[in-house]
Amino acid sequence: MTESDEAIPGPPPLMELARQLISERTRPHRWHPKGYEKTEIPRDICSPKTLSRLESGRYRGVKLGTVLALCNFYQTPPDLTEHIANLVKAARANDWCSHYASVLEDRNWFYQQCEDNASYLAFHSFSIFPSLMQGAAYYRLIRDTTEVPPEEDFDWEEGLEFRMARRERWIRSERPAMFLLGEAALAIHLGPERDEILADLRKISALPFADVRVIPFRASRYELQPWMLNLLEYDDGEETVLNVESPRGSGFIPFHSTRGKFFTDAFKAASGKSIALEDFLT
């Protein structure tokens, strides 16, 4: 593999594999409460250089045997080892999309790792609040107006705890974030807890590291309108992550691809049409 090959962003299963391996290496281990340094991995498994490649999310020469040996050394639980092995197979497949779909986790572990490690976050949603900024009252609105649950035994209370913990992690980190809302998200009937929902929204907007903006109806149609977009940037040179969702498709988009350029340019254009939340509400 050449250096230029490694500069090309890897497909999503390779990116998730990298984060899983980093997480396993750096989590607390017996006698290693802060995890392992790369130089502490036995060289009969792989060299520090090879490990850096595996953890880059770009190395297409990944071998299942090496990854399984790492999992054995890290004492990775069997179910997670199986998941990681499936990620290797998906990453090596010609048609990684179909393979990756079969190994995605319900909890979106990979996306959550990306979000928690990002230094800058940006979100767009035309008709609902981006999930990271949703408060308890807005979550209850979603629960109470949902007629078809996402799964048969969906636990709304557990979902609320997960969402509030996720939001609190972001607030404690004070990482800058921009939220672009279509006016439809505010024009829709917000139910009996409307005042609490808007008060919570204003509280988020007042955070010094949060920029909450609204794209009014008078801006007319704009390119990003049909899409929900999550954009995550990093300080250490790691590839920017784009995650999109719409009726026309969803998933991770390579940042440097043609589609990646479309979404980043469309986000900038949408931002230019927006106004501050307080200006919109007053």
- Cβ neighbours of 27 (radius 10 Å): 14
Tokens, residue 148: 């078809």
For 191-219, what is each residue's pLDDT tens digit? 999 999 999 999 999 999 999 999 999 99
Does residue 38 or residue 107 have the better pLDDT? Answer: 38
Question: Percent of the chain at pLDDT above 70?
Answer: 89
pLDDT value, residue 4: 39
CATH 3.30.870 range(s) for the chain read 109-281
**pTM > 0.85: yes or no:** no
Residue 164 has pLDDT above 70, yes or no: yes
Kindly state the average pLDDT of the residues 54-78.
93
Using the structure block, give the residue that is written with the tokens 């190994």. Answer: 103
Instruction: Say which CATH topology domain 109-281 has.
Output: Endonuclease; Chain A (3.30.870)
pLDDT in tens, 167-192: 999 999 999 999 999 999 999 999 99
DSSP per position, 158-171: HHHHHHHHHHHHHH
Q: What is the DSSP string of 23-38?
A: HHHHS-BTTBTT---G
Instruction: Name, in order, each residue with C-beta under 8 angstroms of 13's C-beta and a sequence gap of 6 or more.
Output: 87, 90, 91, 96, 99, 100, 103
